[in-house]
């Protein structure tokens, strides 16, 4: 299969490419594609995946009409590297500097590097990115008061409306296309991460200004009563209000759908929400709407965002020609820097469901994520236990739309569109998981190398595994919670998977 996929992506005519082009002929030649990427939403955080303390009616409705995957993976246990992998089809551990980026980092994806957006744009799509970016902008030392390039436009997006990094990092402004929105030139923005800005209050120096205190870090510039990571001065008319973020970005995403629905060109929308990342400050209409505190209230707000996207699809009557995928960037985290009561108010809610670990962790809770595929009259509703990965979206979308990509593009992205659409239950032969170390899953087996560094992999601070940890092997069919390390009982499996992981790293590509 890998050889056929390689030939297809190299431009060779393939029966399956044309079969999927034919399948998309009704009612139009190519489907619209929407990817909704939640932030820090865990495997067990929503109704379709077993949550009972938080109500997610829009996701419940979506799941009832969709194919829901139980063995889907992001490529990394934290945000920046997952976003890099999803868009480029390349494992982030191969990219130097792909850890969690500061808010003033340069663009991580090299202009000209193929992405889902550039591939689909080359295939005739209008492309848009809305919401959290966190992939860097510019080339370093960004002037936030002028044109900000390179950015999404240089990697394939026709339109973008972004939060540059995360809600807990400066700058706390939106960037539409290549300029800060609502900036008063008389109040220019300064952003820096190396030292405080004289005269600007910080959380460390002004705890009385804060809604809640930081639990670790997050004690720099204060915006809207919340101290952030990084320092910022100016741009007061451009600063967001935390309670309004979900409304603002969802309105922009819906407007993109309205503007491009039923046009000659199909569209691709990458909608990356801020929820449920810290700081959690949901709109007042969602506060107290769950049984598990502010984190779950933010989940209710995220569910509303999904409902608005579905409403935009329905009012434009494009459901039957729109493929929508809902997923998350990594596993859940409860305390991620603020004393907001999220841990104390969980009330029995299990963000990772039956899985071990969460964000930053190499265990399943870090990288196994919700993944729901919706396409009425094309994707049959149900549940799939096939192993799929977000890194395969680039090659799979290319195959679906009959769009050729260069052989060097998406080096770890494989065409699994038949599985994604439910026409096959064929799993990925193996998937690499990335946190502070690499791991590999093959079928029911999950192998984690011993110690800290694995197979020369790049990694950053994070995770919950000691440097002297032993090799670990789990049978995920019988032990999904990874409680029983059976590596000593299966040395042949350990040897094979260790060699496979080492090969993936040394080869520099998968396909």
CA distance 362 to 118: 31
- Domain identity same for 310 and 444: no
- Domain identity same for 357 and 413: yes
CA distance 67 to 87: 22
CATH of the domain at 13: 3.40.720.10
Domain that holds residue 437: 431-507
Tens digit of pLDDT for each residue in 275-306?
Answer: 999 999 999 999 999 999 999 999 999 999 99
Global pTM reads: 0.93
- Domain identity same for 363 and 447: no
CA distance 349 to 59: 17
CA distance 262 to 316: 8
Phi/psi of residue 372, each to 5°? -125, 130
- Domain identity same for 438 and 416: no
pLDDT value at residue 7: 31
CA distance 101 to 192: 13
- Domain identity same for 347 and 448: no
Smallest Cα–Cα separation from 82: which of 6, 139, 133, 151?
Answer: 133
Tens digit of pLDDT for each residue in 382-434?
Answer: 999 999 999 999 999 999 999 999 888 999 999 999 999 999 999 999 999 99
DSSP codes, 444-468? TEEEE-SSS--TT----S--S--TT
In a domain, 260, yes or no: yes
- Domain-terminating residue out of 384, 399, 420: 420
Average pLDDT by stretches of 10, the chain with 511 residues: 34 36 48 98 98 98 98 97 98 92 96 97 98 96 96 98 98 98 98 96 97 96 98 98 98 98 96 98 98 98 98 98 98 97 98 97 97 97 98 98 93 98 97 96 97 41 64 98 98 98 96 87
Q: Which 3 state secondary structure label does DSSP give 275?
A: coil
* 440, 433 Cβ separation under 8 angstroms: yes
Query: What DSSP state is assigned to residue 110?
Result: P
Question: Long-range contacts made by residues 212-217, C-beta under 8 angstroms, separation at least 24?
Answer: 212/338, 212/339, 212/340, 212/341, 213/338, 213/339, 214/337, 214/338, 214/339, 215/335, 215/337, 215/338, 215/339, 216/337, 217/337
CA distance 330 to 39: 7
CATH of the domain at 480: 3.30.1120.10
In a domain, 32, yes or no: yes
Cis omega (within 30 of 0) on the bond before 279? yes
List 126's β-bridge partners, or say none.
267
- Domain identity same for 387 and 437: no
- Domain identity same for 344 and 454: no
- Domain-terminating residue out of 367, 386, 420: 420
- Domain identity same for 122 and 265: yes
* 435, 91 Cβ separation under 8 angstroms: no
In a domain, 210, yes or no: no
* 255, 304 Cβ separation under 8 angstroms: no
Sequence-ordered strand ranges (E) for 329-463: 371-374, 382-389, 431-434, 438-442, 445-448
């Amino acid at each position: 299969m890998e050889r056929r996929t390689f030939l297809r992506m190299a431009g060779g005519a393939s029966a399956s490419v044309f079969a999927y082009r034919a399948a998309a002929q009704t009612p139009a030649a190519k489907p619209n594609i929407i990817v909704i990427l939640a932030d820090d939403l865990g495997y067990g955080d929503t109704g379709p995946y077993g949550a009972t303390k938080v109500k997610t009616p829009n996701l419940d409705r979506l799941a009832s009409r969709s194919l829901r995957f139980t063995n889907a993976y992001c490529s990394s246990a934290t945000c920046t590297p997952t976003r890099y992998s999803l868009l480029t089809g390349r494992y982030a551990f191969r990219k130097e500097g792909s850890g969690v980026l500061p808010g003033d980092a340069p663009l991580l994806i090299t202009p000209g590097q193929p992405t889902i957006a550039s591939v689909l744009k080359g295939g005739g799509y209008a492309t848009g990115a809305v919401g959290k970016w966190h992939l860097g902008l510019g080339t370093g030392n960004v002037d936030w008061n002028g044109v900000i390039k390179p950015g999404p436009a240089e990697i394939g997006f026709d339109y973008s409306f972004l939060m540059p990094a995360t809600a807990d990092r400066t700058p706390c402004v939106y960037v539409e296309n290549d300029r800060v929105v609502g900036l008063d030139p008389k109040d220019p923005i300064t952003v820096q991460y190396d030292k405080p800005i004289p005269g600007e209050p910080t959380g460390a120096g002004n705890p009385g200004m804060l809604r809640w205190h930081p639990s670790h870090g997050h004690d720099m510039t204060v915006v809207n009563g919340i101290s952030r990571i990084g320092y910022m001065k100016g741009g007061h008319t451009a600063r967001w209000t935390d309670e309004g973020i979900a409304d603002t970005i969802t309105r922009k995403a819906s407007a993109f759908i309205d503007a491009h629905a039923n046009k000659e060109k199909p569209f691709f929308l990458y909608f990356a929400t801020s929820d449920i990342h810290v700081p959690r400050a949901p709109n007042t209409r969602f506060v107290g709407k769950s049984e598990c505190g502010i984190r779950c209230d933010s989940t209710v707000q995220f569910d509303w965002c999904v409902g608005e996207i579905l409403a935009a699809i329905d009012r434009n009557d494009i459901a039957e020609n729109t493929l929508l995928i809902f997923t998350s960037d990594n596993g859940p985290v409860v305390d991620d820097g603020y004393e907001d009561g999220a841990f104390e108010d969980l009330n029995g809610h299990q963000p990772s469901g039956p899985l071990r670990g969460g964000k930053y962790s190499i265990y399943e809770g870090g990288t196994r994520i919700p993944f729901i595929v919706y396409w009425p009259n094309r994707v049959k509703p149900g549940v799939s236990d096939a192993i799929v990965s977000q890194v395969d979206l680039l090659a799979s979308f290319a195959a679906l739309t009959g769009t050729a990509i260069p052989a060097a593009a998406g080096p770890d992205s494989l065409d699994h569109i038949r599985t994604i659409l439910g026409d096959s239950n064929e799993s990925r032969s193996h998937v690499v998981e990335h946190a502070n170390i690499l791991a590999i899953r093959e079928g029911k087996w999950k192998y984690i190398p011993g110690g800290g560094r694995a197979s020369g992999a790049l990694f950053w601070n994070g995770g919950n595994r000691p440097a002297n940890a032993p090799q670990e092997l789990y049978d995920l069919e019988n032990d999904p919670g990874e409680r029983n390390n059976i590596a000593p009982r299966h040395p042949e499996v350990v040897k094979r998977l260790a060699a496979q992981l080492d090969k993936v790293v040394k080869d520099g590509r998968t396909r």
